[in-house]
Amino acid sequence: MLAAREVAQLYQTDFVRNARAVAALWAVCTLCFAVLEVVVLIEPAWVRSRGGPGPAGGFGLFEACLETEWLPECRGSLASLSPVPSFKTAAIFVCMALVLVLASVCCCFGLYRCCSPATVYKVCAWLQFSAASCQALGCVIFPSGWETPEVRELCGPRAGSYSLGRCVIHWAFVLAVLGILDALVLSVLAFVLANRQDTLLPEDFESCGKSEYRRPGAECGQPAIHAPDTGI
Interatomic CA distance for residues 109 and 120, integer angstroms: 9
What is the average pLDDT across 37-61? 82
What is the average pLDDT across 2-11? 53
Interatomic CA distance for residues 57 and 73, integer angstroms: 9
Ordered by start, the domain boundaries in the chain are 19-193
Asked whether residue 10 carries a pLDDT value surpassing 80, the answer given is: no
- The DSSP element (H or E) to which 214 belongs, if any, is strand 212-214
Report the side by side order of strands in the sheet with 225-226: 206-207, 212-214, 225-226
Asked whether residue 223 carries a pLDDT value surpassing 60, the answer given is: no
Q: Which residue would you say has higher pLDDT here, 199 or 86?
A: 86
Q: Give the predicted TM-score (pTM) of the model.
A: 0.74
Asked whether residue 33 carries a pLDDT value surpassing 80, the answer given is: yes
**Number of residues assigned to the chain:** 232
Angle between helices 88-110 and 117-141 (to 10 degrees): 170
Instruction: Check: CB of residue 222 under 8 Å from CB of residue 231.
Output: no
Q: How confident is the model at residue 201, as a pLDDT?
A: 47
Average pLDDT of the chain to the nearest whole number: 76
Using the Cα atoms of residue 215, residue 216, residue 217 and residue 222 in order, give the sign of their dihedral: positive
Q: How confident is the model at residue 159, as a pLDDT?
A: 84
**Least confidently predicted of 42-51, 130-139, 166-175:** 42-51
Q: Which residue would you say has higher pLDDT here, 226 or 105?
A: 105
Q: How confident is the model at residue 80, as a pLDDT?
A: 56
* 161-192: pLDDT as tens digits: 888 888 889 999 999 999 999 999 999 998 98
Label residue 14 by pLDDT band (50, 70, 90). Answer: low
What is the average pLDDT across 35-46? 88
What is the average pLDDT across 78-93? 70
Interatomic CA distance for residues 218 and 211, integer angstroms: 16
| Domain 19-193 indexed as CATH 3.40.50.300 | no
Asked whether residue 193 carries a pLDDT value surpassing 80, the answer given is: yes
Q: Which residue would you say has higher pLDDT here, 181 or 20?
A: 181
What is the average pLDDT across 198-224? 48
